[in-house]
Structure 1
Amino acid sequence: MSLTLNTNVASLNAQRNLNVSQQTLGKALQRLSSGLRINSAADDAAGLAISERFTTQVRGLNQAVRNANDGISMLQTADGAMSTVSDSLRRIRELAVQAANSTNSDEDRAALQLEVAQLAQEVDRVGRVTSFNGQKVFGQSNQSVVGDPNQLGALDGLQSGWLSAAEDLIFENFGIRASGNAISIELTTFTDGAGSTLARVVATVGGSGPASNIRLQIDMSDFTPPNPPNGGSAPFYNDRVIAHEMTHAVMDATMNVGSMFAGNQEWFLEGTAEFIHGADERLLADIQRLGGGATGVAAVVDMADDWNLNWDGSSEAYSAAYAGARYLDQEIKAAGGGGIRDVMTYLAADSSRTLDQAMQNATSGRFTGLANFKADFQANGDAFVNGLLTSGSLSDSDTGAIGGANASGGAIRTATSVIPNIASRSGEDQLSGFAETWESIARGEGYTAGRKTLQIGADVGHVLDIGSFAMNGEALDIMDADVVTDANRVIAKMDRALDYINARRADIGAQLNRLDSVIANLTTNAESLSASRSRILDTDFAVETASLTRAQILQQAGIAMVAQANTTPQQVLSLLR
């Protein structure tokens, strides 16, 4: 071993080891003082990323627990208000029973009516002003929701499944869905006379891009017609109307429908809307009404002559559009495509695309555009529809599969199953593609008996729909209760109102129990995630105190060795003497 003066290797080595032990000591002190194993990304990059995600989830879950507790408080507020309303309704019923007794004079009944009127006003006040944190607990309605079973059934169907099921049906078969677009559900009365328009979609259509300000307007007074408008024998079901109109809404939200209207191609919009649920019975009824057989078929197909003109909205116009959509579907499949779905997805992928381009693309050039397709349908449409007619593919008691009887190879759907059965469903089923609001355009006061949602999870979509409902005087149909003129009618009104309240209170009770389960689940999840985060992030004090002790001893030894190493060069002096 050589002896040197300029480079003290032993000292450098001792200093390096001293620096290492000093860093270890500093890290141990940091971890013990903070209680965290990971104090910076350098300590454990992957562990930090995982623990940060856990922290985000835990904080979100804890907030969700608070949200659920707020939901419980709001529902308890609603339940308490409904309890007082029930007491008032029972008192009104009691007074009506008393007034119905013939031993009472008109003056006696008038005295009873004074209390009835005051109680009815109090029920209305409670329904309108009950609030939680400044938010109205109950929706408001300008029409009775307990007096007309048909309208109540239609409203329940709309909120519990028709809209969302129609949306799912459109996505399943056309491959298109809105992307969070706003849609207003407007319950109103049209001025077109009884038995006319049941529902319609109104939107602001520009020269390019999807439409905006989309509104689905529903004529509640006409929403339960017994038969189709063209005299056919198949019932005209509400859910089918919604499937048709929701197709318009989704197309408005995803395509440049303005260009379609500009080209007078409304037949395509209406034909595809009919296609989603199948309109075989309408087509068959129109064929029979227009002469039957080849004569009726020709009359329907001849409506295609007007496709470049204004849409007249007649039943045969819808039938011709539906037949055209079925023919287009057949020709796309014959060209190796997936049917009319290919047209829809092509248009929805880029709002600048035109119907001409979509048709050419879907048929691999079989049709060069709409004009070419129209000419082809006029030439071959009679044979196509006659083929459906003679083969028995059209039925007046069956809407068929999606797009008619087996038109798209789907399962046969009768008129009552266009939208899946919702008898076993409860509450409201929220649309996934649209952000819908409920309102009435019949007067300035809106119908806000829509949904209230609770964010019960840490991520997007983790929501619980707790619904809402109207409970004011108009909704309960009690404001005209008069025990002087017809006490028995008041008794019947109170029975219906109490049934309505009892059903809603039962629903609230179920939701309260569900929220208890939600909170228990969220708490368990937060606990598990916190434990997982702790195992990654927190300091193990047993390990770190051992590391601290070791580092302290090494520090002392290192300092001593540096001192010893620094004296080594002095040995050279003995050689120089």
Structure 2
Amino acid sequence: MIINNNLSAMNAHRQLGVNQNNMQDSMEKLSSGEQINRAGDDAAGLAISEKMRAQIRGLDQASNNAQDGISLIQTAEGALDETHQILQRMRELATQSANDTNQDDVDRDAIQEEVDALATEIDRISGNTEFNSQSLLDGSFEGKFHIGANSGQNMDVSIDQMDATSLGVAGGGEFLTEGSADVEGLGEQTVLQDGDDNVVAVQADNENWYAVDDVELDNSDNVVPVEGATALEPTEVDQIDGEVVTSEQTDYEGVETTVYSNNAGDVVGVEATTGEDSGEIFAPDDVSVEDDEISGGGEQLTLEDGYSLGSNGDGIDVSTQSAADGAIDTINTAINYVSTQRSELGAVQNRLEHTIANLDNASENLQAAESRIRDTDLAQEMMEFTQSNILSQASQSMLAQANQLPQNVLQLLQ
């Protein structure tokens, strides 16, 4: 029997420490609900679960982003719905004015006034429709919806300009060409002329354009604006066969070339890429695609460069029978153009709704996987806590017993 080292007590004390540590770990997991409270609990599990958490939060925010995108689309589409209603009314008025039971100076004037007011409202809707202080229908909105948890997971969204001029239902907006002409009181000047060679604007200071009545000659015989005159803002435009077009370098039946489209989005001209006619423009029906090249046939189209001053604030002309008759087709084109834009917006909205469903499903599944790594199984952990608690109490009791063993040595010394 020895008294310097009580090995039984030392062993009981060590076991007591182990059991108390296990009990403290169990209490921490039970109180936090997580089985990983520090890196030492599970280093690999911590690293994996943190990546999962980042992905989960990214997916949840992407879902919110998609919801915001739907809200934006609905705002724009709702405004275009009203534009559609206005165009339908304008078509109804044009059809009414095309009937010669109306008098030009009475009935058609009244019809024209309503058409003018409707065109003004289309311009107002185009200019004032906003989402989060961003204009939607003035042609400036080109954005990205971030609909994924990681970088680069975007979708591009753009909305065309939807004012009366873009829809072709505004008054004025003639195609103007730049040239020289003799202007009364000003002499030979650089001007913008309409199709009838009428002078619409005069260039002053070799830079800005002004209405003819807003310019004069100074002492050096230079054209200058009169005091208080406002400069016009002509827009550079192209036209083919009297129709304003926009050009785009794009894929046409598998071949990269320049395509020309009207305001309704219809392709009216395609640039040939091979042969003698390479670079020339032809109607879509007059081109053929073979061996990744576009060849032209038939009559070549002429692209005219010019300017447009846009709307004069009035609506499309329905003041005569012939003008009203032509306006019906123009308004039909505008209705189809708005329908196309609304269809595109509707397709984006439907896509976003599916995107949200997929993001929410991915987030849910990933959350379940992360839970299996991080969350505490309370039933199992309570069982381990109970075991550690019992063992700790037993260790305390055995330590007390072990501390009494050296007392037995005193019996030998009596």
Residue 144 of structure 1: how far off its partner (Å): 5.8
Count of residue pairs the alignment pairs up: 292
Residue 235 of structure 1: how far off its partner (Å): 5.1
Residue 232 of structure 1 aligns with which residue? Answer: 276
Match among 7, 10, 16 for residue 12 of structure 1: 10
Residue 519 of structure 1: how far off its partner (Å): 1.1
User: Contact 2:122/2:164 (CA < 8 Å) preserved in 1?
Assistant: no
User: Contact 1:237/1:415 (CA < 8 Å) preserved in 2?
Assistant: no
Match among 377, 383, 395 for residue 546 of structure 1: 383
1:105 matched to 2:103: yes
Counterparts of 1:153-164 in structure 2, within 5 Å, are 154-155=247-248, 158=250
Residue 70 of structure 1 aligns with which residue? Answer: 68
Residue 88 of structure 1 aligns with which residue? Answer: 86
How many angstroms apart in 1 are the aligned matches of 2:5 and 2:25?
A: 31
Percent identity between the two aligned chains: 40
Taking a change above 3 Å as real, the CA distance of residues 532 and 154 of structure 1, as seen in their structure-2 partners, is same
User: Contact 1:95/1:116 (CA < 8 Å) preserved in 2?
Assistant: yes
Match among 30, 44, 47 for residue 46 of structure 1: 44
SS at match of 1:37: coil
Residue 124 of structure 2 aligns with which residue? Answer: 125
Taking a change above 3 Å as real, the CA distance of residues 237 and 101 of structure 1, as seen in their structure-2 partners, is closer
Residue 498 of structure 1 aligns with which residue? Answer: 335
Taking a change above 3 Å as real, the CA distance of residues 523 and 231 of structure 1, as seen in their structure-2 partners, is closer
Residue 59 of structure 1 aligns with which residue? Answer: 57
Counterpart amino acid of residue 94 in structure 2: A
How many angstroms apart in 2 are the aligned matches of 1:24 and 1:532?
A: 26
Residue 572 of structure 1: how far off its partner (Å): 2.1
Residue 523 of structure 1: how far off its partner (Å): 1.1
Residue 317 of structure 2 aligns with which residue? Answer: 482
State the TM-score, normalized to the length of structure 2: 0.63
Residue 139 of structure 1: how far off its partner (Å): 3.9
1:413 matched to 2:250: no
Q: Which has the larger radius of gyration?
A: 2
Deviations 1:22-68 (A, max 9, x none): 01111111111111111111111111111111111111111111111
Match among 569, 572, 576 for residue 406 of structure 2: 569
Residue 575 of structure 1: how far off its partner (Å): 2.5
User: Contact 1:82/1:505 (CA < 8 Å) preserved in 2?
Assistant: yes
How many angstroms apart in 2 are the aligned matches of 1:36 and 1:139?
A: 53
Counterparts of 1:198-347 in structure 2, within 5 Å, are 232-234=276-278, 236=280
Cα RMSD (Å): 3.6
SS at match of 2:247: helix
How many angstroms apart in 1 are the aligned matches of 2:82 and 2:397?
A: 85
SS at match of 1:62: helix
Higher strand share: 2
User: Contact 2:45/2:373 (CA < 8 Å) preserved in 1?
Assistant: yes
| Runs ≥4 residues deviating over 4 A | 141-153, 223-228, 235-238, 477-480
**What 5-or-longer segments of structure 1 have no aligned partner?**
167-197, 200-222, 239-396, 400-411, 417-441, 444-472
User: Contact 2:52/2:370 (CA < 8 Å) preserved in 1?
Assistant: yes
How many angstroms apart in 2 are the aligned matches of 1:143 and 1:493?
A: 12
Residue 27 of structure 1 aligns with which residue? Answer: 25
Taking a change above 3 Å as real, the CA distance of residues 499 and 12 of structure 1, as seen in their structure-2 partners, is same
Residue 532 of structure 1: how far off its partner (Å): 0.5
How many angstroms apart in 1 are the aligned matches of 2:269 and 2:353?
A: 39
Residue 567 of structure 1: how far off its partner (Å): 1.4
Residue 284 of structure 1 aligns with which residue? Answer: none
User: Contact 2:272/2:294 (CA < 8 Å) preserved in 1?
Assistant: no
